[in-house]
């Protein structure tokens, strides 16, 4: 259980020294603090032994706090027996009005001690997602501060009413509210170039030619045109995938079959007479 330091002016017996501004009213209210903790816990057995008391600083003279009010708030700590809360403790804060003996309960909370087992820091859901987590029916809205996106051209009411202007905006790719930023395009290009369809993959190293010279290569538009494209060959392992210009496979449109010695053509039946079975009548 956590070691709770005693309040200033409190001796080893849990009582305040005579010269303390608070006297012994708050430190002596252990039973009141325990009752409050048991009521909050809902079960008296969940509140363990008294660990100590700590004075809550209210300020110092000259900071708007009267000198007589200093030390009038105290927190009693009790060990927690709550299942699953090993190393936690109940903290009951008491207060009294200066010049009176009436003690009131300010708050009761369950706090972690130094050896308490705590949950890891909460991570926002959009930071926990990983590629491939999105399934059918899931919605992944982009955040307003997504660095991969920047504002683009948005048609106003007049342009929306003009079919020719709308057709031109669509053709130029200007009809979207946001488009990929330079940072977003660079990250996507780096990810695709380092993947299975990049120039350093095993398939690319054994290919008869790069995708950039293949008739089935469909270059991407814009700034990525010189780096990437899509494969349109149904027999290629990269069909329908984004491939690097320097990627390649055996289905290259200019690939030719190297011929060596002509193969022997067998025109008559051949039988294996090394082994045979003897059939009796």
Give, in degrees to the nearest 5, the angle at Cα 271 between 270 and 275: 155
How far apart are alpha carbons 236 and 250 in whole angstroms?
Answer: 8
How far apart are alpha carbons 45 and 82 in whole angstroms?
Answer: 9
Q: What SS3 class is residue 124?
A: coil
Say if CB 218 and CB 229 are below 8 A apart. Answer: yes
Smallest CA-to-CA distance from 205 within 262, 257, 249 is with 249
pLDDT of residue 7: 42
The reported pTM is 0.48
pLDDT of residue 118: 85
Say if CB 33 and CB 44 are below 8 A apart. Answer: no
pLDDT tens for the chain, 281 residues long, are: 444 444 433 344 333 333 344 458 899 999 999 999 999 999 999 999 999 999 887 655 555 555 554 448 999 999 999 998 989 999 999 998 877 888 999 999 999 998 888 888 888 877 788 888 878 887 777 778 888 888 876 555 555 567 776 677 666 666 677 888 999 999 999 999 999 999 999 999 999 999 999 999 999 988 899 999 999 999 999 999 999 999 999 999 988 765 556 656 555 555 666 676 777 76
Instruction: Let me know if 207 is exposed, middle or buried by CB neighbors in 10 A (0-12, 13-18, 19+).
Output: buried
Smallest CA-to-CA distance from 11 within 52, 39, 71 is with 52
In this structure, what token pair is assigned to residue 204?
């690319």
Instruction: Sketch the domain layout of the chain as residue ranges.
Output: 1-59+67-116, 143-179, 182-244
pLDDT of residue 20: 42
pLDDT of residue 245: 96
In the chain, which residue ranges form alpha helices assigned H by DSSP? 30-41, 125-128, 157-160, 163-171, 182-193, 202-205
The residue count of the chain comes to 281
pLDDT of residue 266: 56
pLDDT of residue 77: 96
pLDDT of residue 156: 56
How far apart are alpha carbons 95 and 18 in whole angstroms?
Answer: 19
Say if CB 207 and CB 253 are below 8 A apart. Answer: no
pLDDT of residue 4: 45
């Amino acid at each position: 259980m956590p070691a709770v330091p005693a309040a200033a002016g409190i001796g080893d017996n849990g009582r305040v020294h005579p010269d303390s501004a608070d006297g012994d009213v708050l430190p002596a209210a252990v039973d009141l603090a325990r009752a409050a903790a048991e009521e909050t816990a809902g079960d008296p057995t969940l509140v363990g032994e008294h660990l100590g008391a700590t004075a809550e600083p209210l300020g110092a003279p000259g900071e708007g706090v009267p000198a007589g009010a200093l030390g009038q708030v105290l927190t009693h700590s009790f060990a927690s027996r709550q299942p699953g809360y090993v190393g936690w403790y109940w903290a009951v804060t008491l207060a009294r009005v200066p010049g009176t003996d009436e003690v009131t309960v300010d708050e009761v909370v369950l706090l972690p001690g130094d050896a308490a087992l705590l949950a890891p820091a909460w991570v926002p859901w959009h930071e926990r997602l990983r590629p491939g987590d999105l399934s059918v029916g899931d919605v992944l809205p982009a955040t307003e501060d997504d660095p991969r996106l920047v504002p683009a051209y948005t048609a106003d009411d007049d342009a929306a009413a003009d079919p020719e202007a709308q057709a031109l905006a669509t053709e130029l790719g200007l009809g979207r509210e946001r488009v990929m930023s330079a940072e977003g395009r660079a990250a996507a290009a780096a990810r695709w170039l380092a993947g299975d369809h990049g120039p350093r993959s095993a398939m690319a190293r054994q290919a008869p030619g790069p995708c950039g010279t293949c008739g089935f290569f469909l270059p991407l538009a814009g700034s990525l045109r010189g780096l990437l494209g899509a494969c349109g060959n149904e027999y290629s392992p990269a069909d329908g995938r984004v491939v690097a210009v320097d990627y390649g496979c055996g289905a290259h449109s200019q690939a030719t079959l190297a011929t060596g010695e002509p193969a022997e053509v067998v025109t008559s039946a051949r039988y294996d007479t090394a082994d045979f079975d003897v059939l009796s009548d």
